[in-house]
Amino acid sequence: MLLTRRRLIAISAVLATAPAIAHASAATRFWTGQALGARASIRITHPEAETIVSRVMAEIDRLENILSLYRANSALCRLNRDGHLQDPPFELLECLSLADAVHLASGGRFDPTVQPLWTLWAQSAANGTRPGPADVDRVRGNVGWGKVKLDAAAITLHPGMALTLNGIGQGYVADRVAAMLEAEGLTDILIDTGEFRALGGQPGGGGWPVRLESGQRLPLRQRAVATSAPLGTTFDQAARDGHILDPLTGMPAPANWRSVSVSAPSAAIADALATAACLMPDAGSIVAMNARFDGVRLEAASV
- Note the helical H segments in the chain: 19-25, 49-67, 75-82, 90-105, 115-126, 133-140, 169-183, 267-277, 283-290
**Which pTM was predicted?**
0.90
**Residue 176 carries which DSSP code?**
H
Cα(133)–Cα(92) distance, rounded to whole angstroms? 33
Which residues neighbour 227 within 8 Å (Cβ) at sequence distance 6 or greater?
195, 212, 213, 259, 260, 261, 262, 274, 300
Can you give the pLDDT at residue 180?
A: 95
Which of 142, 168, 198 lies closest to 12 in space, CA to CA? 198
Can you give the pLDDT at residue 2?
A: 32
Instruction: Give yes or no for a contact between 244 and 275, defined as CB atoms under 8 angstroms apart.
Output: yes
Can you give the pLDDT at residue 205?
A: 83
Cα(272)–Cα(168) distance, rounded to whole angstroms? 5
List the pLDDT tens digit at each of the 303 positions of the chain.
333 333 344 554 443 333 333 343 466 666 666 666 666 666 666 778 788 878 888 898 999 999 999 999 999 999 999 999 999 999 999 999 999 999 999 999 999 999 999 999 999 999 999 999 999 999 999 999 999 999 999 999 999 999 999 999 999 999 999 999 999 988 888 888 778 899 888 877 889 888 998 889 999 999 999 999 999 899 998 899 999 999 999 999 988 999 999 999 999 999 999 999 999 999 999 999 999 999 999 999 999
Can you give the pLDDT at residue 190?
A: 84
